[in-house]
Amino acid sequence: MGLHNLSPVKGSVKTKRRKARGQGSGRGGTSTRGHKGAKSRSGYSRKRNFEGGQMPLQMRLPKRGFKSPNRVSYVALNLARLQELNDKYGMSSVSVEGLYEKRIIKKNDKVKVLGNGELSSAVNVTVHAISEAAKSAIEAKGGTVTLL
């Protein structure tokens, strides 16, 4: 045996079908694409959501609602979460930078403190917004509230 007489096993290699190479090949003429229509043309690729010319679903359904470009969204932080941060990390003063360092919020998030839960110790808070209930609860325990 030598490199000059190596060959693949019989039946393991199939010959490539040479389409569009004349009538004698058996695959000339329409080149296995059928007659006419978009799929027979060169460069055809079906567009996303194309339904054969029928009105696509996303165009049949009505538009609803409105998204205000000026909407300000806040990350909610309840009093119970503030107490948990104080117990777990010893954060007696909660600021946006501190929350970012602990990976509780993302870089450009705005934080609003809400009044759900109980506080058992004084907490100093520096955030973008706060509810009236949360503000009164923090000040009642001897904490301070600073708005950015």
DSSP 74-85: EEEEEHHHHHHH
Contact residues for 31 (Cβ-Cβ < 8 A; gap 6+): 19, 20
- Write down the residue that tokens 């693949």 correspond to: 8
pTM tops 0.75: no
The pLDDT assigned to 85 comes to 87
The pLDDT assigned to 128 comes to 94
| CA 120 – CA 128 distance, rounded (Å) | 23
Tokens of 98: 């501190």
| CA 42 – CA 20 distance, rounded (Å) | 12
Sheet holding 145-147, edge to edge: 93-95, 124-127, 145-147
The pLDDT assigned to 23 comes to 93
Contact residues for 20 (Cβ-Cβ < 8 A; gap 6+): 27, 28, 31
The pLDDT assigned to 91 comes to 83
Domains and CATH numbers, the chain: 18-65 (no CATH), 74-147 (3.100.10.10)
| CA 29 – CA 145 distance, rounded (Å) | 81
Stretches where the chain sits below pLDDT 50 are none
